[in-house]
Amino acid sequence: MDTEVLIVGAGPTGLMLANQLARRGVRAVIIDRHAGPSLQTRALGVQARTLEIYSHLGIVECALELGKRATGANMWAEGRRTARIPIGDIGRDLSPYPFLLILGQDDNERLMGDALRARGQTVRWNTELVGLAQDTSRVKATLKNADGTIGEVTAAWVAGCDGARSAVRELNAIEFAGAPYEHVFFVADTEVTGAMVPDELNVYLWRKGFHLFFPMRGTDHWRVVGILPPHLRGRDDLTFEDVIPSVRQEAGAELSFKACGWYSTYRIHHRCAVRFRDRRCFLLGDAAHIHSPVGAQGMNTGLQDAYNLAWKLALVTSGRANTTLLDSYEVERMPVARRLLITTDRAFALVVSDSWWAGLFRTCVLAKLAAFAMTCDRIRTLAFRTISQIGIRYPDSSLSETLPELPDTAPRAGDRFPWLRLKLQPNGPIEDMFAKLDDAPFNLIVVGQHPPSIQLPALGDLLRIHAVPSDAANDAELARARIPRPSFYLLRPDGHIGLAGAQLDVAAVHRYLAERMVLAAEAARLDVVR
Ligand SMILES: Cc1cc2nc3c(=O)[nH]c(=O)nc-3n(C[C@H](O)[C@H](O)[C@H](O)COP(=O)(O)OP(=O)(O)OC[C@H]3O[C@@H](n4cnc5c(N)ncnc54)[C@H](O)[C@@H]3O)c2cc1C
């Protein structure tokens, strides 16, 4: 076998997977058909859950330094600012990164590429996947090099992170069900002055669509995204000059464009692969699902696909878990993609609908309604949990088990374990629990009871135990997160709760690891314990 995992595609999804596998000691090769990293940026919004993952990768500080925190969204209609929605720190107490970070996809890819190089691995550019053949033990991939020569790589697993036109998906004849939208988007990287509120998101709603102005690093630097007005659709030769009059008409005549560094139009689709796996091949990111960019979810969802699959591949390739663990990838990630398609479809329909009532709703009602709704704590929290992706849950996964005596109000199996600040030593300092939790092993968090010292399996580097001491500050923090005393939470490496219960039940932990995680060594030890 040449490698354990062949990663096809070095966009954000492939780079995240390569980093996660490298950190976990898995041999992987990452290829891309392009000559080098893309300089054109598509995604702009980095969600809180992505930043949490970046912190484990050691790149969050650089991302925060390079990006801009979205502090507010200013809504404009018919030349007037109709509302300002404060979104800075909207998720306070819910995440160490309670905001949306505006940082271009090219910068995200560069940070992940640098992190990968620091781990001694590089992308094989100019290398295109052109053929695949798999049997029960391996995949043979045919690769075309820049000079036209053809080579072959054998891998135990192939990860298709190769975007919307995925060769991995097509070579496995997996249908990409869905359709294109009729609207055509444009994106332009501009130097422009105007009435926009500096350093904040400016949203121009008009009868037939919208324009978004994203503040970027540098003076008067804005990324403008919008849909082409109907009379410009269908033309292949458009330049940004052609679009400017319609932007001026809707976003204000005083707009003065000084330069346009980059401009592109694109047609978007809403599609989801009917399977995310064919035996030894997986689909992740845009190869598995694409949807409208409304809500800044696409890149972030691909990054989480990679984070979900990486720890499972690491356990399987190291021989510590049975291959059936990999079945949970599709079971967990496909519902997330399907839900995303439905919600982005609805939101997109609302912001682009040509109907009279939708135009009226957009220009006269939407901004005020959104601003009013965001004054309500519960709606703000719900909005943040949904958009930031910290609310993604896997309740129906076979890896999720909540024991009966845990109160219904407590965090359940499948949830991302909440962000807490706790004293982990009696009389010690209050610590950020996420910073304490290593995302390579499983973490067992024991609340309001003594942790087991000797009964738990000697899983070595695979299990860390954290006992939360009794303390007034801890009690308040646990109550805020609705975590009862006593309780215990066994977290998977990706921070989602695998097993949850009240009184720590060592036999249940054994059984869970052996039967649900199908840890091979653990199953053997279970026999001894019995
Ligand atoms: C205008 C626009 C705005 C967007 N805004 C946002 C946003 O704000 N937030 C957000 O989260 N998402 C956003 N998205 C979505 C986001 O850009 C994508 O979801 C993201 O790029 C997906 O990453 P990926 O790595 O899965 O695929 P890609 O970025 O498409 O990368 C795939 C890679 O695979 C390579 N490849 C393809 N075929 C082969 C082959 N046969 N062999 C080898 N290599 C191959 C390609 O060269 C490419 O480098 C936006 C998208 C668009 C179009």
Q: What is the 3-state secondary structure (H, E, C) of 281-302?
A: EEECHHHCEECCCCCCCHHHHH
Nearest CA to ligand 1 atom 14: 43
Looking at the DSSP bridge assignments, the partners of residue 124 are: 31
* Nearest alpha carbon, ligand 1 atom 53: 42
Burial string for 299-320 (b: 16+ CB within 10 Å, else e) reads: bbbbbbbbbbbbbbbbbbbeeb
The answer, yes or no, to whether any atom of ligand 1 lies below 6 A from the CB of 227, is: no
d(CA 51, CA 46): 7
State the distance from the centre of ligand 1 to the C-alpha of 452, rounded, in angstroms: 46
pTM confidence score: 0.93
Closest CA to 298 of 288, 308, 290: 290
User: Does the beta carbon of 47 lie inside 6 Å of ligand 1?
Assistant: no
Which two three-digit tokens encode residue 322? 């049975």
For the Cβ of 43 lying below 6 angstroms from any atom of ligand 1, the answer is yes
User: What is the C-alpha separation between 316 and 477, in angstroms, rounded?
Assistant: 36
162 lines ligand 1 (CB under 6 A): yes
Q: Is the CB of 14 under 6 A from ligand 1?
A: yes
Q: What is the pLDDT of residue 453?
A: 62
- HSE toward the beta carbon, residue 423, CA cutoff 13 A: 14
For residue 97, the SS3 value is coil
Binning the chain into helix, strand and coil, the percentages to the nearest 5 are 35, 30, 35
End-to-end CA distance of the chain: 38
Decide: 286 in ligand 1 pocket, CB within 6 A. Answer: yes
17 CB under 6 A from ligand 1?
no
Write out the two tokens for 315. Answer: 């356990």
Instruction: Determine how β-strand 45-46 pairs with β-strand 281-283.
Output: unpaired
Alpha-carbon distance of 287 to 11, in angstroms, equals: 11
- Which ligand 1 atom sits closest to the C-alpha of 185? 1
Give me ligand 1 centre to Cα 55, in Å. 22
In 3D, which of 105, 109, 140, 106 has the Cα closest to residue 17?
109
Ligand 1 near 266 CB (within 6 A): yes
| Centre of ligand 1 from the C-alpha of residue 42, in Å | 8
Count of alpha carbons within 13 angstroms of residue 186, beta-carbon side: 30
Q: Quote the ligand 1 centre to 373 CA distance (angstroms).
A: 33
Residues in the chain, overall count: 530
- Report the residue among 68, 263, 291, 299 best suited for mutation to probe ligand 1: largest number of ligand atoms under 8 A from its CB: 299
> Is the dihedral angle over the CA atoms 414, 376, 101, 213 positive or is it negative?
positive
Nearest atom of ligand 1 to the alpha carbon of 44: 8
Instruction: Decide: 202 and 48 in contact? Cβ < 8 Å.
Output: no
- Is 337 a pocket residue for ligand 1 (Cβ < 6 Å)? no
Q: Pocket of ligand 1, candidates 116, 162, 351: which has the most ligand atoms within 8 Å of its Cβ, to mutate?
A: 162
Q: How far is the CA of 102 from the centre of ligand 1 (A)?
A: 17
Q: Over its length of 530 residues, how does the chain's per-residue pLDDT go in tens digits?
A: 899 999 999 999 999 999 999 999 999 999 999 999 987 778 889 999 999 999 999 999 999 999 999 888 998 887 788 889 888 888 899 999 999 999 999 999 999 999 999 999 999 999 999 999 999 999 999 999 989 999 999 999 999 999 999 999 999 999 999 998 888 889 999 999 999 999 999 988 877 778 899 998 889 999 999 888 878 887 878 889 999 988 888 777 688 999 998 898 888 899 999 999 999 999 999 999 999 877 779 999 999 999 999 999 999 999 989 999 999 999 999 999 999 999 888 877 777 777 777 777 777 777 778 877 888 888 888 989 999 999 999 999 999 999 999 999 999 999 999 999 999 888 899 999 999 999 999 999 999 988 766 555 556 678 888 999 999 999 999 999 999 999 999 999 999 999 999 999 888 888 898 888 777 655 445 443 33
Cα of 74 vs centre of ligand 1, distance in Å, is: 28
Q: Can you tell me the distance from the alpha carbon of 105 to that of 302, in angstroms, rounded to the nearest whole number?
A: 12
185 lines ligand 1 (CB under 6 A): yes
